[in-house]
Amino acid sequence: MINRCELFWLFLSGGLLLGVSLGANDAANVFGSAVGTRMLSFRRAAVIASLFVIAGAVIMGEGTSGTIGSLGITVDIINAFVISISAGISIFLMTFINVPVSTSQAVVGAIVGSNIYYGYSTNYTELTSIVISWVTSPVLGAIVAVLLLLIVKYIIRRTRIHLIKLDVILRNLLIVAGAFGAYSLGANNIANVVGVFIPVADIYDIGFLSDTGIPKHYMILLAGGIAIAVGIIFLSKRLMQTVGHNLMPLTPESALVVVLSHSIVLFLFSSVWLRDIVHSIGMPWFPMVPVSSSQVIIGAIVGLSILKRANEINTKRLGVIFSGWIISPPLAAILVYILLRLNQLVF
Amino acid sequence: MVLFKTSTKIIQQVEDFFGNVEQGALTFKRGVLNYLDNNRSGFRDNIESIVVFERKADDIRRSVESNLYQRSLLPQHRGDILKLIDSIDDIVDMSKEILFQFDVENPTIPEELHSDYRKLTSVTVSSIENLMHVARLFFTEPSKVRDAVHRVYSCEKEADKLALKIKRNVFSGNLNIDLSEKFHLRYFTLHIENLSDLTEDVADLLNIMAIKRIV
């Protein structure tokens, strides 16, 4: 007879699989430029990314996970499982036809689909802030990338640094920016992996280190972080070695700027601490929502291409990516509806 | 930390390489001038010196190549930089070859042509010196390469004009020399002219490399 603890982990596996998929795909956004331009070995990149993604998930993952948890009512753990599985299947289907999609969009689409199925109202305030963030985050990525590139170019020009020395400095900065990116990725995107499980975890004995007094949600965030790390270590190599060349060829300076922009934007959408400071002086701040790592990267690359007036950007590929962003949320919503209907019919 | 030390070492090697090429070019100039002045001992010394410079340039080139690959430095620019160093190394090789040709073939150069040969040699060596300046700029201030490279082009054009002038004088009939000697002089003019053409090719390469760095 399966006990409640085993049941929890069995259903959480749906979210963890999503975490593995996220690690496999999104780690390339963080270290792809460095590995793709052969400035960093895959092994080194994978170890750094894994450690920092877990740290980000556990230390700062609470903010965005709270937003995902409050988007609608997660009825029970089976519902949470179906949401994760539907998001996972829609990502798989889109990836199968070679269209990159955002895990955040698939998860949000699935939560909305679940709300529609159960007849619960969606928290439209949160939904609106999430949908706005899908538009603002790539735009912000582009703006930050343009500003950073101008600063980097100015510094390089002023210091007249030798190309060989610059290469070594950029290599080290790419490692630092990548680590920051992995931390921000863990902090921001952990919500997609375990966000829907946290509200229903209270009634379960999760077993794992439960007698230590550490709150349950930290354990779940840790498990999600480890799942992302597994995806990075075992499944991200091929993508990491090819990303960065798909949309536009990147110089090492541009690669650094793209990774740094991505890290900064994800951090801005994840840091509760920063939000509280800005709110305390009466200023508006970014909502704590999981944004798409890929969308921010693409925004940054498009920003750089506009700055450089480059014709090298692959507009056809960009069109395919945009269409993926539009299709994936309704696809996940339809899938979750079908799966919940099937669940009702079978059980 | 190791990479920082290695990069400092490679930067020094690249600087030594450029310095060596400049020394080789000056030795080439002195060699041609000594030949024209019939200073045989000076000319022999110049040949010995340019052999040393050429060998040293080859050693540095090999060391830079292996260091860049072993340390996986400059993955994006490595191919271009190695091509650049190879091409610059060809300049020293060609300078040495020309001096050897003077030594072996011992061309008879009429007094009337000495002044133009001196000018042709000087302007060719200026072209090499300007090229080394551009090569250094590529590594530190690539945005200035585009303007600086014009000095190389202007020297090369000047060398072309002088070479044409020499060839016209040789075949004009004003000089009392055999047709075989005229052919001989034409080849020696062509050898020096080829050297300045080579600097133009390397300048083109540097121009493209700089654009790639800036964009």
pLDDT at B197: 96
Q: What is the pLDDT of residues B162-192, one digit of tens each?
A: 999 999 999 987 888 889 999 999 999 999 9
For residues B113-117, average pLDDT: 95
Q: What is the pLDDT of residues A195-247, one digit of tens each?
A: 888 887 777 776 666 666 778 888 889 999 999 999 999 988 887 776 555 55
Which residues on chain A are in Cβ contact (under 8 Å) with B14? 164
| Residue A241 near residue A36, CB atoms below 8 Å | yes
Tell which residue, A303, A294, A344, A343, has the closest CA to residue A322: A294
Q: What is the CATH code for B2-214?
A: 1.20.58.220
Q: What is the pLDDT of residues A57-88, one digit of tens each?
A: 999 988 887 777 777 766 678 888 899 999 98
- Chain B residues within 8 A (CB-CB) of chain A? 3-4, 7-8, 10-11, 14, 72-77, 138-141, 143, 213, 215
| Residue A22 near residue A156, CB atoms below 8 Å | no
Above 80 in pLDDT, residue B2?
A: no
Nearest-by-Cβ selection for A308 from B8, B213, B215: B215
Between A256 and A318, where is the model more confident? A256
Tokens 């092994």 -> residue: A43
At residue A312 the predicted structure's pLDDT band, cuts being 50, 70 and 90, is low
pLDDT at A130: 86
Which residues on chain A are in Cβ contact (under 8 Å) with B213? 163, 251
pLDDT at B135: 97
pLDDT at A245: 53
Which residues on chain B are in Cβ contact (under 8 Å) with A168? 3-4, 7, 73
Which of B9, B13, B72 should one mutate to test binding to chain A, selecting the residue with the greatest count of A CBs within 10 A?
Answer: B72
pLDDT at A92: 82
Q: What are phi and psi of B96, to 5 degrees?
A: -65, -45
Percent of chain B as helix, strand, coil, to the nearest 5: 90, 0, 10
Say how far apart CA A290 and CA A321 lie, in whole Å: 19
Query: What are the sequence ranges of the domains in chain B?
Result: 2-214
What is the token pair recorded at A176? Answer: 């630092």
pLDDT at A47: 96
Say how far apart CA A248 and CA A245 lie, in whole Å: 6
The interface predicted TM-score of the complex, written ipTM, equals 0.87
Handedness of CA A41, A46, A51, A57 (dihedral sign): positive
Tokens 């963890």 -> residue: A16
Nearest-by-Cβ selection for A165 from B11, B75, B215: B11
Angle CA A325–A327–A329, to nearest 5: 80
Above 60 in pLDDT, residue A168?
A: yes
At residue A282 the predicted structure's pLDDT band, cuts being 50, 70 and 90, is confident
Q: Which of A168-182, B67-81, B116-130, B144-158 has the lowest mean pLDDT?
A: B67-81
Q: What is the pLDDT of residues A9-52, one digit of tens each?
A: 888 898 899 899 889 888 888 888 778 767 788 999 999 999 99
Query: What are the sequence ranges of the domains in chain A?
Result: 4-346
Helices B40-70 + B78-105 axis angle, to 10:
160
Nearest-by-Cβ selection for A160 from B3, B74, B140: B140
pLDDT at B36: 96
Above 70 in pLDDT, residue A173?
A: yes
Q: Using the beta-carbon criterion (under 8 Å), do A164 and B74 form an inter-chain contact?
A: yes
pLDDT at A328: 86
For residues B195-215, average pLDDT: 92
What is the token pair recorded at A245? Answer: 């060349």
Interface check for A158 against chain B (CB to CB < 8 A): the answer is: no
Tokens 């920082």 -> residue: B4
pLDDT at A33: 75
Q: Using the beta-carbon criterion (under 8 Å), do A164 and B14 form an inter-chain contact?
A: yes
pLDDT at A326: 86
In chain B, the residue whose alpha carbon lies closest to the alpha carbon of A159 is: B140
What is the per-residue burial (b if ≥16 Cβ within 10 Å, else e) of A104-116? bbbbbbbbbbbbb
What percent of chain A clears pLDDT 90, i.e. is strictly above it? 30
pLDDT at A255: 85
